[in-house]
Structure 1
């Protein structure tokens, strides 16, 4: 009788440990999704910065038409747009129940 209770206790403990491990694995996978999404958005911002960094003629580089003020608005707008895209992507993942 004691052996049966011990066996049930061991089985219950094993199930509990497996549940805890699955929970930790789910949290790690969710963190991976969030970091991958952030990497994608930052990469899009880097592409935008690369386009502006090319040696091409754009009104943004003309000192008579624009200056540091417009440059800062461009960088700020790009960063704000990236943050907005990240929030939208995470909200979509939560809506699709990919994240808790």
Structure 2
């Protein structure tokens, strides 16, 4: 196959990096930064499947959902319940999540 670049070397799997569609090596640390950017930024990519799709589309990576899932498990995202409040007892801070479902 002349037109396709080799994504995996003979005899083993890639370790520590992935390739984009141009054949350039992208380090796992750079991919983790891209994942954090997609989670923290204004984008609305949250699940590992959506993040994998986003990485394939925006950064042209050749990466599957399983690798993104494993990388997301390693990333620790700090989730603060109340960043500007001091909660000392129950019923002092309530949080809600509203989701809408449209049915035709």
Same fold, judged at TM 0.5 (above): no
In our comparison, the structure showing a higher alpha carbon Rg is: 1
Bin for the TM-score computed over the shorter chain: under 0.3
Provide TM-score, normalisation by structure 1.
0.23
**Would you tell me which structure has more strand in proportion to its own residues?**
2
